[in-house]
Amino acid sequence: LAQYRALAAFAQFASDLDKATRDQLTRGEKLSEIVKQPQYQPLPVEKQVVILYAATTGKLDDVPTPKVREFETQFYRFLETERPKILQELGESNALTDEISAALDEAIERFRVEVFGMDAVKAAPKPESAPTEGSISASPAPPVTPEAVETAEANAEEDAAAQAKKDAAESADAATEITEQPDTTGDGKPA
């Protein structure tokens, strides 16, 4: 997500972006949507792992960003009713094994086609060209583990706290500017 934020900040000033950069920005938007959770409603780690797996393996690349939350909610329901063993095994093993990954790939494909009404996922796109020196490029996604999910949650909380602190400081600075206006009337009283 940090790489996405850096790329998004850079993209604000770029007039035309190559396809790989646009794709990376879109995936970052979707990952940002996925890590959001309702207050006081923590998501079980195994559900976080399956949706992060889907996102980082390109299975959500063609889902429009505004539909990501709907996809996520329906996918959890699908797994609970049609493939509960995946969530159970993931919760028990605390690891995304090859067997669980294969079962999850099959479940995602079935869900996309039969429930969400999408086409089957094509193979994850390869970068169009090798990155040049100084360019920002996507690196292979690390394996999604419960520890990685916890780290992502902690980073998101730190980012939110830092943003809140920055907003509070800016508000305090604005209040100070208002109270420290120079005397423009000449009578010793502030304007």
Q: What is the pTM of this model?
A: 0.57
Tokens for 20? 């790989």
pLDDT tops 90 at residue 189 = no
pLDDT tops 70 at residue 182 = no
Write out pLDDT tens, residues 70-119. Answer: 999 999 999 999 999 999 999 999 999 999 999 999 999 999 999 988 87
Alpha helices in 36-67 (DSSP H): 45-56
pLDDT tops 50 at residue 131 = no
d(CA 43, CA 37): 7
Question: Per CATH, is 2-126+141-178 categorized as 1.10.10.10?
Answer: no
Q: Quick one: pLDDT at residue 136? A: 38
Write out pLDDT tens, residues 17-61. Answer: 677 777 777 788 888 888 888 889 999 999 999 999 999 999 999
d(CA 65, CA 23): 12
d(CA 33, CA 65): 8
Q: Quick one: pLDDT at residue 31? A: 86
pLDDT tops 90 at residue 127 = no
Average pLDDT over residues 117-126: 59
